[in-house]
Homo-oligomer: A and B are copies of this chain.
Amino acid sequence: MTTPARRGTIQSVDRAARILKALSAGTAHLGVTELAQRLHIAKATVHGLLRTLERQELVEQDPESAKYRLGPAMLLLGNAYLDNHELRSRSFIWADSLANRVGEAVRVGVLHGRSVLIVHHVFRPDGSVQILEVGASIPWHACALGKAIAAQLEPDRRRSILAGPMPRLTGRTIADPHEMSEVLDAIGERGVAVEDQEAIVGEAEVAAAIVDHHGHPVGAIGVAGPAERLLAEARAEAIALAVRDVARGLSRDMGARRIAHP
């Protein structure tokens, strides 16, 4: 056995999940042989797993090339994740009001591994053409959403997330763990995170964490747009205030079902 598959996990299911992720990563469709050697599993075994996944329409086989790709049932499951997402559904009204208040696009995200997953996105309220970012995955260290969440993490998780790689996306990306640690402290005190062209040149974001009744972060909400417009002297403070207000309201909303513990 090459990968000893952590105790307590069901080997075949674990392998099936790894197949799905491999198919999701590669842009081109993958064949049985390529999957087998990439995951270090016998070819026949991969075939059996794929056939089972195919019956469930989680993967499908291209009739032309006989190679495999993700299937339509995957889209339904991904959509179901969003539909059942409590933070997402609660954020609808808050995000709408925030977008109208500041006249910019609003994004809501959760931390997933070392990335922020966008679960809700409200377009800037002018009529311009914009692409929907729901489902997108952004490195945590290069967006305000991610930094806002990280600043609220308990010390162990914060240390572990700071330990990992922080690739430079633009000249302004914060890539040094010590610098980032200080930035997170400042964000924690101020209650608002700012990202200034750290992911895409010209784009900025102002965000605040959403916490549950224990104070644990469950996600973040933020305003995104052109840096020059978002961070202009005159508007910066007003936007930060609006974002923090909305994040507080949403946090209260999320924790409302249980009484806070001391």
Contacts and interface: CB of A to CB of B under 8 A. Distances in A.
Interface of A: 6, 8-10, 12-14, 16-18, 20-21, 23-25, 27, 29, 48-49, 51-53, 55-58, 64, 69-84, 110, 112-113, 117, 119, 126-127, 132, 134-137, 258
A19 to B, nearest CB: 10
B76 A117 contact: yes
B70 A80 contact: yes
Contacts of A48: 8, 10
Contacts of A51: 8-9
A82 B78 CA distance: 11
A83 to B, nearest CB: 7
A115 to B, nearest CB: 9
Contacts of A72: 81, 110, 112, 117
A225 B126 CA distance: 22
| Oligomer copy total | 2
Nearest to A119: B75
Of A74, A76, A119, A136, the most chain B CB neighbours within 10 A belong to A76
Contacts of A13: 12-13, 16, 49, 52-53
Given A80-B23, A80-B70, A9 B55 contact: yes
A25 B77 CA distance: 9
A77 B112 CA distance: 13
Contacts of A74: 77-78, 80-81
A17 B77 CA distance: 10
Contacts of A81: 24, 69-72, 74-75, 78
A58 B17 contact: yes
Contact of A10 (B49, B76, B119): B49
10 contacts: A6-B55, A8-B48, A10-B52, A14-B55, A17-B53, A23-B80, A23-B84, A27-B84, A75-B117, A132-B132
A21 B137 contact: no
Contacts of A16: 10, 13, 16
A70 B84 contact: yes
A240 to B, nearest CB: 26
A241 to B, nearest CB: 26
A18 to B, nearest CB: 8
Contacts of A132: 132, 134
A13 to B, nearest CB: 5
Nearest to A45: B10
Nearest to A70: B81
